[in-house]
Amino acid sequence: MGSTKEPSLQKNDTKPPGIQFIENLKRSPISYKTYQAIVLIVTFFAYLTYHTTRKTTSIVKTALDPQSPDFNPTVLGAGWTPFNGPDGTELLGDLDVAFLFVYAIGMYFSGHIGDRMDLRIFLTIGMVGTGLFTALFGIGYWANIHNFYYYLIVQMLAGLFQSTGWPSVAAVVGNWFGKKKRGLIMGVWNSHTSLGNIIGSLAASILLKYGWGWSMFAPGLGISFVGIVLFFLLPVSPKSVGAVINDDEEIKEPLLKVKGDEKDDGAVGFLEAWSIPGVAPFALCLFFAKLVAYTFLYWLPFYISHTAIEGRYLTDEESGNLSTMFDVGGVFGADLGTHSSLKGNSRALATVTAIIDGTGSIGAAAGPLLTGYISTKSWNAVFMMLMVSALIAGLLLTRLVITEVAEKIQGLQTHELPRSRPALMEV
């Protein structure tokens, strides 16, 4: 049996109020496994609600701009000024790119900040802020706001707060789980993205019948509530709660080693993070992959509602529900945001994850922006753009796939246990 070691709490390390209440109630410390379960559950629902609020605008588009060459107002409704005019599709595309551009830029800064402050506080601020500006978009319905710049500014601020999500939850999970136990766990945990999109689509579609404002306001309240729950329960790291760590838990290696100095503040510079092997190819791959994914995420319900199927146009609710099939397929995928070189390395995890996903988010902004303009000419051209982007993303992964397959074959031939990855960089 392995021995145990318990890190001491520092002055700046405070247990979440909910954790303190539970321990006082049961009059005994929470076990390490229980902490891990809490981390998985809380971060799962946290990022699920991030994507729930992110998905709703794609459903609301069908109500804001129902115009099409074969417009049928009895089916699609009257729309919402200024989005129901001849340039409505382009304006909706501008909202997407404003949201995603600020989100992408914010990712780089969020990762940097997240490595240097309490992630529990950082996530709470991000979730409540996301909820506030998502709800403010919906309030435009009841306040009868028809100024395009109101919605543009609200979307930009929502994108800024959304950028706090992925780098932070990835870093927290990385703090609690070693390499050996991440495979299946991370595969199941990563389904929060697709499930959040599905819930966002279904909820927004159902609420449209009561007014499109509810499709934004209700998800905004939802993420704010989960953010408050996270504030009371999320243990950021074993050290932050003084958890007992078993020696059989895999020891995490630092992302960077500094010669002649064993002191590590856990942070890494922006350019240093880019120089880590594999980060740039993964970032570029995610650029093209997200270009495809977010074009579907933001425009698929709109495309379905504006395309006659068996001689009729689907209602807003029907098109929203049908679009969830794309996200159902995503439940079974892998997420490139969890780069393999980060496994087992909690140091600077938020920074590197933010670089990869931030670059991907630039592609996420480019796809919907281009679609808003290209679709007015030809939807066939949009799908051609998506096919080319998917091909490029696949080619960027080719070398990685070949390398990993070769390693698996070699491991089977030698019957050797996988060795731990050495330090990724030495400066």
pLDDT bracket for residue 148 (50, 70, 90): very high
The pLDDT score that the predictor gives to residue 330 is 62
Does the pLDDT at position 347 exceed 60?
no
Rounded CA separation 302/300 (Å): 5
**pLDDT tens-digit series, residues 79-106:** 899 998 888 888 888 898 889 889 888 8
CA distances from 405 to 283, 402, 408, 409 (A): 21, 5, 5, 6
Cβ(368)–Cβ(100) below 8 Å: yes
pLDDT bracket for residue 417 (50, 70, 90): very low
The pLDDT score that the predictor gives to residue 270 is 64
Other beta carbons within 10 Å of 277: 9
Q: Where along the chain do its domains lie?
A: 18-246+268-333+344-412
Any idea what the Cα angle at residue 104 is, between residues 299 and 173, rounded to 5°?
A: 100
Which residues partner with 309 through β-bridges?
A: 312
Question: Which residues touch 426 (CB under 8 Å, ≥6 apart)?
Answer: 256, 257, 259
Does the pLDDT at position 180 exceed 80?
no
Rounded CA separation 228/125 (Å): 9
Rounded CA separation 130/228 (Å): 13
CA dihedral for 141, 94, 384, 194, sign (positive or negative): negative
H or E stretch including 245? strand 245-246
**pLDDT tens-digit series, residues 357-408:** 778 878 888 888 888 788 888 888 999 999 999 999 888 888 777 877 777 7
Any idea what the Cα angle at residue 230 is, between residues 224 and 235, rounded to 5°?
A: 160
CA dihedral for 19, 22, 25, 27, sign (positive or negative): negative
pTM above 0.75, yes or no: no
Cβ(288)–Cβ(365) below 8 Å: no
H or E stretch including 256? strand 256-257
Query: Tokens standing for 389?
Result: 């982007």
pLDDT bracket for residue 338 (50, 70, 90): very low
CATH number for the segment(s) 18-246+268-333+344-412: 1.20.1250.20
Cβ(152)–Cβ(95) below 8 Å: yes
Does the pLDDT at position 143 exceed 70?
yes
The pLDDT score that the predictor gives to residue 398 is 83
Rounded CA separation 139/147 (Å): 13
Question: Which residues touch 76 (CB under 8 Å, ≥6 apart)?
Answer: 62, 66, 68, 305, 313, 315, 316
Does the pLDDT at position 337 exceed 60?
no
139: amino acid identity, one letter: I
**pLDDT tens-digit series, residues 252-275:** 443 333 333 334 445 556 676 676
Residue 394 is given by DSSP the state H
Strands 256-257 and 245-246: unpaired
pLDDT bracket for residue 327 (50, 70, 90): low
The pLDDT score that the predictor gives to residue 249 is 52
